[in-house]
Structure 1
Amino acid sequence: MSKSNTIYSDLKNDMNPVTWISKYRQNSIPYLTVMVLFYHLIGFVIMIIGSIIVDFVVNNYTEPTIPLTGISVIFAGPFEESIFFGIPFYLTGNNLVTLAGGIIWATLHVLNTPSVQANSLAYLTWLFVTPSIFASLRTWISGKGWFAIISHSIWNLIFFAAGCTNGEFACRIFNEKDFLIDIAYITTSVVFILLTYFLFLRYENKVISKSVK
């Protein structure tokens, strides 16, 4: 079988929902990029369908926005990926525990709103990110957690650029009124990345120890 046929076969297998909590069959950067885009495409379709349902069910619904900065969206990647995916996986080595972390992560997106009321929750954001649970989960368990972090931050930055360009919110790199908020974003992200790295080393040592026995 040719290399292109092998890649096609592996992609077809990995896109099958039956495999969505297992490792990818390949973990090259181009392969992972295709899979991330695949899950984002599913999220986009679900969001479009969901918007029709939400508009029908929730009176006077408008998708909320919260103040964002370039710093906050970039460092949300390492913070969220570490705390909800990397740390659960390297602590337990269990795919289902990591999946649970991802479910919590996605669900919290519904609270991306300045007002916690039924007609102002971020339903569409939640619907869009839900398939990304599997993208992050599978990337971490496939040994490419760093790619999950980088792709998450890049995707956030793309949406931030699109939103501020369209006037949905101000195009701010940092918080001019309270720069301590951005410092907190950076600091907590670094702390959780370091914690994830130490847990990774611990996890790898356990794997090596088991293979030696």
Structure 2
Amino acid sequence: MNLIRSVLDWLINCYVNRHMPHYFIPEQNLIGQLSKERCDDVRKTLTTIKKHLWTEVMSSIEGGIVDSRSTINKLICDALTIERIGQSPDYAMLEANLLQHPTATRCLKGVVNDLKNSITDHMVFEINRWVSSSILPFDKAVIYWMRNSTNIAEIISKIEDLILPSIKKLKEIVIEEYEDIFKAKLHRHIGDLLYSILVCLHDKYSYEDRTKYQNKALQYYKLGIK
């Protein structure tokens, strides 16, 4: 929980300052395109999650509050012989009881393993379907090219040939007020793809070549915040 709180604190600080550095290019601000109002909305949401962290975590076990209450009572409260949670779960009381219990950590580790092992085939199918649908066709094409070539210049050229025409046609595809949003997203996506390629093929190129392609990725990130 402390680790989750630390991550939330870092995220909240990023949205307060409207600056979230890119992992590979710290000077690149990943949320620079967001308005102050949007940043404030995200900050408020993250602050609420942090305030009710135990509720958010515990109620996410299996299928929501009802299922989680049954699971927590059976696998945690009964196993540790502590007070069960009721119809209106008091997660603050549960937290206090767990923090005071000498074997709570061992019990929670066991619960996590049990839950991981109890995932049904249907849930696995749904997860795989979601992951597959979340990958853009561009990514799938890049994966194919990387499996068949280590020529980074050729791969980057293909990426640009594939995505840049789509950016030029956005006016014909999306509603006018959303054109800049999609344009920024696609430019940033090109930057992400270029960096992914550099990570995978970093040992095949000299420092000078890597620097050249890093700068190219940075150019697309800059286009992504205009």
> Is TM-score (shorter-chain normalized) higher than 0.5?
no
Q: Choose between structure 1 and 2 for higher RCO, CA contacts under 8 A separated by at least 6 residues.
A: 1
TM-score calculated relative to the size of structure 1: 0.29
TM-score calculated relative to the size of structure 2: 0.27
